[in-house]
Structure 1
Amino acid sequence: MTPQQSILNLLGLAARARKIVSGEEQVIKEVRSNGAKLVILATDASANTRKKMQDKCHSFNVELQEFGTRYDLGHATGKDARVSLAIVDDGFAKKLSELLNEI
């Protein structure tokens, strides 16, 4: 199994465990309230969204990773296209971070 596939599978597991928040406004809310442990941004996010997420994650010291397209992220979490995901569980965030750093 490729690292990309492992990441998508883990995102699916986290989504079923209700440990993922998706959608730009919800993700930013989680970052502000210190609930987000890791933010994943689609590689095809707009420049505006990318800058907003980078600034927000930087000021609240939350790790930000770019991975997959909005359709990959949406499909992995069982939803329509998703540009940003916040992982709100330490275990999932740690494992996803390790996998994302490998690719």
Structure 2
Amino acid sequence: MDNKQKSLNLLGLAQRSGNLISGEALVLSSIRSQEAKVVILASDASENTVKQFLNKCEHYRIPALINFDREDISKAIGKMRTVVAITDGGFAQSLQKLQ
């Protein structure tokens, strides 16, 4: 199993354990409150969405990953999403190590 698949499996595990926030408004809120430990953004998201989230993450010093497309993220968590945030430090650290 390659690192991409391990990362996607980790997203699914975070979703099932309640340590993943999905949806643009909720993720923005979690960034502002610094609840998000890492943000995962779809590589095929719109330019405005990418710019908005990268700027927010940079401002609040939260790592952002753009390694997966919308389909990958959606399959991993079972919902159609372009942006998700992991709220658990352990999951976030594991995901970043796989990148």
- Please give the range of the TM-score, normalised by the shorter of the 2 chains: over 0.9
For residues 58 and 69 of structure 1, what CA distance do their matches in structure 2 show?
21
The answer for the alignment partner of 2:85 in structure 1 is 86
Cα RMSD (Å) of the superposition? 0.7
**Structure 1: stretches of 5+ with no match in the other structure:** none
Q: CA deviation at 1:74?
A: 1.0
Matched, 1:54 2:47: no
For residues 6 and 92 of structure 2, what CA distance do their matches in structure 1 show?
14
TM-score, normalised with respect to structure 2: 0.97
Q: How does 1:34-73 map to 2 (within 5 A)?
A: 34-73=34-73
For residues 16 and 23 of structure 1, what CA distance do their matches in structure 2 show?
16
For residues 8 and 59 of structure 1, what CA distance do their matches in structure 2 show?
26
**Structure 2: stretches of 5+ with no match in the other structure:** none
For residues 55 and 32 of structure 2, what CA distance do their matches in structure 1 show?
12
Where in structure 1 do 4 or more consecutive aligned residues deviate above 2 Å?
Answer: none
